[in-house]
Structure formats: C-alpha cells, structure tokens
Amino acid sequence: MNKAPDKIYLQACGDCPEVDLCQSCKFDDLEEVTWAYERVWEKDIEYIRKDALLKWAEAKHMELDPPQNERDFGRIEAVEELIDKINSL
C-alpha cells in the first residue's frame, strides 16, 4: 500500500490570468484541479494530512508528560489545544 504524502499542493488556478477574480472563484466550480509535491504556481493551495499532523502533536504531548517544570504546563495546554483543533477539522 502506498503512503500518501504528508503535504501536497493543489493547482486549482494554475496560470489563470483572472487575478482579480480569485476571491470570487468557487473551488466547487473548478473542473481541473491537479496536485504536486512542491508549489508550482504562486496561488497553489497547500494541504497537509490531518493524521500526520495529529501524530506529530500527540508525540509532542507525550514528550512533555509528565511536566518537568512550570513552562511545561503551558506547553502541554498549548499542545492539547492544538490537538483539539486538529480533531475538530
């Protein structure tokens, strides 16, 4: 089984000359959307795999638990908020 890349770039607009219309462009209306491992066009949309980010955040949480000092308490809280946000996506 092939592993999906952790990050890709969607080329939804490519070299579209309608720069002024970008804000009103609807993603659902696009007919041809391609992707690449690296940014090709300035307007490419970056996507990061949720499960990869969540795995990283959970590992950081485990590194800080149990807290070793006062600063760790704040870091643990921040990582927990990040994990909650990722899970809500």
pLDDT tens by residue, the chain, 89 residues: 678 899 999 988 777 776 566 666 777 777 778 899 999 988 888 999 999 999 999 999 999 988 898 898 999 999 999 999 999 99
Using CA of residue 33, residue 13, residue 6, residue 76, what is the dihedral sign?
negative
Model pTM score: 0.67
Q: Identify residue 38 by its one-letter amino acid code.
A: E
* Alpha helices (H) in the chain, listed in sequence order: 50-64, 70-88
Q: What is the distance between the alpha carbons of residues 2 and 67, in angstroms, rounded to a whole number?
A: 37
